[in-house]
Amino acid sequence: MDQENSSVDPRSGFNSVTRIFHSLRLPIDLPPEDTPMSAAAYSLSLRNNSQSPCPDSLALINSATGQRVSYSEFTRKTQSLTSYLRSVTGLSKGDTAFILSQNLVQVPILYFSLLSLGVVISPANPISTDSEISWLVRLCNPVIAFATSSTAHKLPTFRFKTILLDSPEFDSMTISPVQKLDRVEVCQSDLAAIMYSSGTTGKVKGATLTHRNLMAVVAVSCANRMKRESPDMLLYTVPYFHVFGLSYCLKSVALNEAQVVMERFDLRKMLRAVEEFRVTHVALAPPVVVRMAKSDVIDGYDLSSLEGVTSGGAPLGKDVIAAFVARFPSVVFVQGYGVTEAAGGMFITAGKEESLHWGSAGRLAGGFEAKIVDPDTGDHGLPPGSQGELWIKGPSIMKGYVGDPEATSATLVGADGTWLRTGDLCYIDKEGFLFVADRLKELIKYKGNQVPPAELEQLLQSHPEIVDAAVIPYPDEEAGEVPMAFVVRQPRSNLAGPEIMDFVAKQVAPYKKIRRVAFVTSIPKSAAGKILRKDLRKLLPPTSSRL
Ligand SMILES: CC(C)(COP(=O)(O)OP(=O)(O)OC[C@H]1O[C@@H](n2cnc3c(N)ncnc32)[C@H](O)[C@@H]1OP(=O)(O)O)[C@@H](O)C(=O)NCCC(=O)NCCSC(=O)/C=C/c1ccc(O)cc1
């Protein structure tokens, strides 16, 4: 054993020489980097290599209509669509496609087609406003869009047209004859997706992920899979337009799982779907766990098929997990930690024993390294139990933010720019479990959705009766956090909280709405003009008006 390995603590993974945490799990299995392969081909190859998967096993179910798509149909539809988009529409490798859709069975088919063609996918939240969408479109510069009959009106025109996923036209593309064309060679290092995130500060940015980045998160999920005899039946309440949903959609194919697709989240409909389709696993964000743990709504549903629940996207309190586990004692409660800039989860609890570490986001995945960095002194490599900013290195880390070298170099750091600063204040305990304690980054998480304060502050400052404003997270039991504004009014202004909330609500997607307002005489700022959010937090709970 060399000196470096012998310095690694076998319980926490902390190397006392390099001061880096190493994964104690088995390394993930990825093909050599120079083998041409798309993330879609990788997922399909894992499925095909698994113990003789039945071609007619279920791939997708529409939870509302019961429409089923088997894996053989899924493959046929994907191939037909790929061929159509290439030979008729004229899409080619390197083009970008903007996608504006709620969760539909058509979305995984579209993702697999575009990825196998080498077309970069860029999905966004369909409840975004027109102005939010025009910002995203400017970032990713698409040649085509895929939308639905309810979202298409928000889009500008593109070089190619906008195709409606819920149209007979799209259905016919998925059954059109497959043309004999040369294979498109997609390299693992090619761009696969542009996913939206506000990162540690500022406005929304486009995180660029390669095929290999996506393959790495699929490999992580496969490594942590709980073994079962028959294929799993999964229900995702998490949207396909976030990395949580995107990475889970890819891993479900790799693991031959069936995905029960819900168009819009509704707790009763979700419970009915679990009962009707004998769902074994659900992936969801903390607000749904809170409701499952505490609401009477679950009474009367047969949820006996449930074996596992995965929660991610935002932290979850220990008391909620305790209430959940008391209600569902036979369900393994899996917690994970992931960020858009790393294509999904890098920490996860594996198996029943690890899941008992309530409040922890799990242990580091195989192939990853982590560092805890003191945010005040910059001291790299704090030991187990010490709190600091979490930095991560590994095969799923993004290439950068599209068209934003400044934000990229502030986020991808270290001598070779391979360490990702997460902006989360965390500690890793003596057994290697991650605990997220607080946030350094300027971000609000409303129901697991990112709300960048800078965007709301800009809007508030555009109001003629507002002199200055700052927005911070305010704790909320169900949503996790809600955006709260501190506002300095013009001297003689009588502007009231509800008017301010209404002014912002008209311009943003519903999850970004300001839900609390407090009036102050000045916004605390550093000498350099940076808002001192910590000082604002000290003012809580303020005299405020609530929506
Ligand atoms: C199912 C949730 C929890 C709740 O649904 P909802 O209550 O309908 O809320 P929405 O977020 O859909 O919509 C927000 C608001 O917009 C409203 N809305 C909605 N659609 C409309 C409409 N068409 N018209 C008008 N109003 C509307 C909706 O009613 C709601 O209003 P309000 O009641 O005031 O909150 C939903 O918020 C949700 O899926 N959140 C999860 C988001 C999420 O996936 N985040 C993860 C980001 S990626 C990440 O962090 C990765 C982590 C990860 C971790 C571990 C891993 O292993 C891998 C990955």
pLDDT band at 315 (very low <50, low <70, confident <90, very high): confident
Give the pLDDT of residue 5: 67
Decide if 511 contacts 456 (C-beta within 8 A). Answer: no
CATH architecture of 444-546: 2-Layer Sandwich (3.30)
Average of per-residue pLDDT across 142-165? 96
Mean of all residue pLDDT scores within the chain: 92
Number of helical H runs and strand E runs in the chain: 16, 28
237 pocket-lining for ligand 1 (C-beta < 6 Å): yes
Give the pLDDT of residue 423: 95
Decide if 202 contacts 452 (C-beta within 8 A). Answer: yes
Give the pLDDT of residue 1: 46
Task: Report which of residues 478 and 542 the model is more confident about.
Answer: 478
Give the pLDDT of residue 529: 86
Q: Is the pLDDT of residue 542 over 50?
A: no
Q: How far apart are CA 143 and CA 140, in angstroms?
A: 9
- How many whole angstroms from its chain centre is CA 410? 21
Query: What's the token pair of residue 102?
Result: 């709620």
DSSP, collapsed to helix, strand or coil, labels residue 344 as: strand
**Helix ranges (DSSP H) in 346-424:** 351-355, 405-411
**Which sequence spans correspond to the domains of the chain?**
1-30+364-442, 33-56+70-213, 444-546
Average of per-residue pLDDT across 111-121? 98
Q: How far apart are CA 256 and CA 248, in angstroms?
A: 12
Task: Report which of residues 482 and 541 the model is more confident about.
Answer: 482
362 pocket-lining for ligand 1 (C-beta < 6 Å): no
Decide if 139 contacts 402 (C-beta within 8 A). Answer: yes
Q: How far apart are CA 522 and CA 469, in angstroms?
A: 9
Residue ID of nearest Cα to ligand 1 atom 46: 313
Decide if 336 contacts 354 (C-beta within 8 A). Answer: no
Give the pLDDT of residue 547: 36
- φ and ψ at 385, to 5 degrees? 90, -15
What's the CA-to-centroid distance between 499 and ligand 1, angstroms? 25
Write down the ipTM of this complex. Answer: 0.94
Query: What's the one-letter identity of residue 468?
Result: D
Q: Is the pLDDT of residue 241 over 90?
A: yes
Question: For 323-358, what is each residue's pLDDT tens digit?
Answer: 999 999 999 999 999 999 999 999 999 888 888 888
DSSP, collapsed to helix, strand or coil, labels residue 144 as: strand
What's the CA-to-centroid distance between 76 and ligand 1, angstroms? 32
148 pocket-lining for ligand 1 (C-beta < 6 Å): no
Q: Is the pLDDT of residue 230 over 70?
A: no
Q: How far apart are CA 224 and CA 373, in angstroms?
A: 27
Q: Which H helix or E strand runs over 62?
A: strand 58-62
361 pocket-lining for ligand 1 (C-beta < 6 Å): no
CATH architecture of 33-56+70-213: 3-Layer(aba) Sandwich (3.40)
Query: What's the token pair of residue 168?
Result: 């007979």
What's the CA-to-centroid distance between 125 and ligand 1, angstroms? 9
Look at strands 344-348 and 480-489 and give their pairing: unpaired
Q: Please state the pTM of the whole predicted model.
A: 0.94
267 pocket-lining for ligand 1 (C-beta < 6 Å): no
Which of 346, 511, 515 is the pocket-test mutation for ligand 1 (most atoms within 8 Å of CB)? 511
3-state secondary structure 146-194: EECCCCHHHCCCCCCCEEECCCHHHHHHCCCCCCCCCCCCCCCCCEEEE
Lowest mean pLDDT among 147-151, 225-229, 281-285, 337-341: 225-229
Residue ID of nearest Cα to ligand 1 atom 57: 345
Which of these, 459, 547, 435, lies nearest to 508 by C-alpha position? 459
Which of 132, 197, 447, 515 is the pocket-test mutation for ligand 1 (most atoms within 8 Å of CB)? 447
Residue ID of nearest Cα to ligand 1 atom 18: 510
Give the pLDDT of residue 226: 62
Question: For 18-59, what is each residue's pLDDT tens digit?
Answer: 999 999 999 898 999 999 999 999 999 998 887 666 768 899
347 pocket-lining for ligand 1 (C-beta < 6 Å): no
Question: For 435-473, what is each residue's pLDDT tens digit?
Answer: 999 889 989 999 999 999 999 999 999 999 999 999 999
Q: How far apart are CA 454 and CA 102, in angstroms?
A: 26
Query: What's the token pair of residue 411?
Result: 């986020």
- pLDDT cut 90: percent of the chain above it: 80
Q: What's the CATH superfamily of 1-30+364-442?
A: Luciferase; Domain 3 (2.30.38.10)
Residue ID of nearest Cα to ligand 1 atom 7: 265
Give the pLDDT of residue 126: 97
- pLDDT cut 70: percent of the chain above it: 96
Q: How far apart are CA 270 and CA 274, in angstroms?
A: 6
- How many whole angstroms from its chain centre is CA 418? 20
Average of per-residue pLDDT across 262-278? 95
pLDDT band at 546 (very low <50, low <70, confident <90, very high): very low
Which of these, 218, 160, 212, lies nearest to 191 by C-alpha position? 212
- Which residues have a Cβ under 8 Å from the Cβ of 250 and sit 6 or more positions away? 39, 40, 43, 111, 214, 217, 218
DSSP sequence for 213-251: HHHHHHHHHHHTPPP-SSPPEEEE-S-TTSHHHHHHHHH
Long-range contacts of 108-111 (CB under 8 A, 24+ apart): 108/59, 108/60, 108/74, 108/240, 108/249, 108/253, 108/259, 109/60, 109/69, 109/74, 109/77, 109/78, 109/81, 109/174, 110/81, 110/146, 110/165, 111/40, 111/240, 111/246, 111/249, 111/250
Which of 25, 125, 127, 148 is the pocket-test mutation for ligand 1 (most atoms within 8 Å of CB)? 127
- Closest ligand 1 atom to 510 CA: 16
Give the pLDDT of residue 223: 83
102 pocket-lining for ligand 1 (C-beta < 6 Å): no
